[in-house]
């Protein structure tokens, strides 16, 4: 519930900021002129950091002897943190293992910064240890880093 409330608070702050910014832009245009306003807007956009390009994997092709699974690490009303894994099936279930952390849901105002993800499979049991920081943000500024660690096992079928 706290994740949802914090996300809604962040969205409200963003709308409020945009209203203030458009009001200031209107005043700037009136006082300084069109050319100065365009230079000002370009300067403001130059401070925005981040990427619009998605960093998701591009179409992994599973092999015939591979299986996929998912373990929920943390769940809230609007936010889920999951460990996704792909493992090679063999007669002893002691095979290769690949894992990734997936963050889904409404993540405005908070997010997951992954640390170390360790997974190992022996005799059909996956042991995992996931570390990372849950970042609490206000308008993109990190206010608090909450270190988290998840340990456990998953039995594969």
pLDDT at 29 over 80: yes
Residues 82 and 129 in one domain: yes
Residues 124 and 72 in one domain: yes
Q: Which domain range does residue 82 map to?
A: 66-155
Q: Tens of pLDDT along 5-27?
A: 888 888 898 899 889 988 988 99
CB-CB contact of 115 with 131 (8 Å): yes
- State mean pLDDT over 138-146: 85
Q: Tens of pLDDT along 59-115?
A: 667 777 788 889 999 988 888 999 998 888 776 666 678 889 998 888 888 888 989
Helix H segments across the chain? 2-32, 34-46
Q: Which residues pair with 18 in a beta bridge?
A: none
Provide the pLDDT for residue 56: 53
Residues 40 and 73 in one domain: no
Residues 42 and 72 in one domain: no
Domain count, the chain: 2
Residues 17 and 81 in one domain: no
pLDDT at 44 over 80: no
Cα gap 151→149, rounded to integer Å: 7
pLDDT at 50 over 60: no
Residues 26 and 89 in one domain: no
Q: Tens of pLDDT along 108-139?
A: 888 889 899 899 888 888 999 999 999 988 87
Residues 75 and 148 in one domain: yes
Provide the pLDDT for residue 51: 44
> Does some domain include residue 151?
yes
> Does some domain include residue 137?
yes
Residue 99 burial (CB count, 10 A): 19
Residues 92 and 124 in one domain: yes
Residues 40 and 70 in one domain: no
> Does some domain include residue 60?
no
């Amino acid at each position: 519930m706290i994740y949802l409330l914090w996300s809604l608070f962040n969205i409200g702050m963003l709308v409020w900021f945009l209203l203030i910014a458009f009001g200031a832009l209107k005043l700037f245009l009136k006082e300084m002129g069109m050319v100065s306003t365009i230079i000002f807007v370009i300067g403001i956009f130059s401070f925005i950091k981040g990427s619009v390009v998605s960093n998701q994997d591009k179409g992994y092709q599973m092999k015939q002897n591979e299986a996929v699974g998912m373990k929920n690490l943390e769940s809230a009303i609007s936010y889920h943190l999951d460990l996704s894994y792909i493992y090679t099936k063999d007669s002893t279930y002691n095979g290769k293992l690949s894992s990734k952390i997936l963050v889904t849901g409404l993540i405005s105002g908070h997010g997951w910064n992954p640390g170390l993800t360790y997974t190992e499979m022996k005799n059909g049991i996956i042991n995992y240890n996931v570390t990372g920081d849950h970042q609490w943000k206000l308008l993109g500024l990190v206010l608090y880093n909450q270190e988290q660690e998840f340990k456990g096992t998953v039995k594969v079928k």
